[in-house]
Amino acid sequence: MLTALTLAFLALPAFPALAAEPPPLLLAETAQAITDVSLYLVSEKLDGVRAFWDGQSLRTRNGNPIAAPAWFVEKFPPRPLDGELWIGRGQFDRLSATVRRQVPDDAEWRQVRYMLFELPHASGTFRERAQAMRQLVVEADVPWLQVVDQFEVASRKALENKLAEIVQAGGEGLMLHRADAPYLTGRHDALLKLKLWQDAEATVIAHLPGKGKYRGLLGGLRVRTPEGVEFTLGTGLSDAERRDPPPLGALVTYRYRELTHYGVPRFASYYRVREL
């Protein structure tokens, strides 16, 4: 039955390999009050590079091509896949450098895994698609093509304990996907991200001069969110980043605890430039 289900998914057409616009993918909402954890399959939130396999090539969530070695993708299934390129916890910078190279470095790519978490446009519930992904990976028999582990939790307390365990081990947080959800695209609450710290993106609009020990260096980044909220990121920047800050117009990721009544992030700190 599993093989038949997988073959039915594999018969779906792939996306055009040369599509210029971002592929339509499912994006997570931030978890707020979760009333019934039994409705979800839970997985670790991997701090990697989102990658869409269109059946012929890998692309970023923005639609940009990823120059992976031919051997890395030659045995991937000829159907759309959605997942994360990942090396391990705390290895994002190393992974980002590998993925951004226009001429791929074989030795670096030997450390990379493509971790699947969705089958674009496949039928059935997410629980069924998760089962099909496991079977697909077994049949593909590619060591670096793997499935993100999906599991269930018994209670909100168990979910909080799992989150604390993941973060303590150096992980980012958890993802919760409605087990009964059909395949969806766009930002949707069928997929939730749960983290101790929230993160979001904003555009750099000004460089603020430093004072005191930062005199002559960057003091902070003035940024603007997509909603038009402006604020300053003055913490989280390394000395090297203060000497050579992200340019005006750059998209950066910041972390924060919560939003004020006016939508301004509390305790916001710079995290990194979003390059992919």
Which residues are known catalytic residues? 45
What are the CA-CA distances from residue 261 to residues 258, 264, 265, 266 (Å)? Answer: 10, 7, 10, 10
End-to-end alpha-carbon separation of the chain, Å? Answer: 38
Radius of gyration (Cα) for the chain, nearest Å?
A: 20
3-state secondary structure 55-108: CCCEEECCCCECCCCHHHHCCCCCCCEEEEEECCCCCHHHHHHHHHCCCCCHHH
SS3 of the chain: helix, strand, coil, percent, to 5: 25, 30, 45
Q: Cite the DSSP H helix spans in 190-271.
A: 239-243
Write down the H helix ranges in the chain: 2-10, 70-73, 92-100, 106-109, 126-140, 156-168, 239-243
Contacts 24+ apart (CB under 8 A), 103-111: 103/67, 104/67, 104/68, 104/69, 104/72, 106/69, 106/71, 109/68, 109/69, 109/72, 111/87
Q: Scan for tokens 């603020």, then name that residue.
A: 208
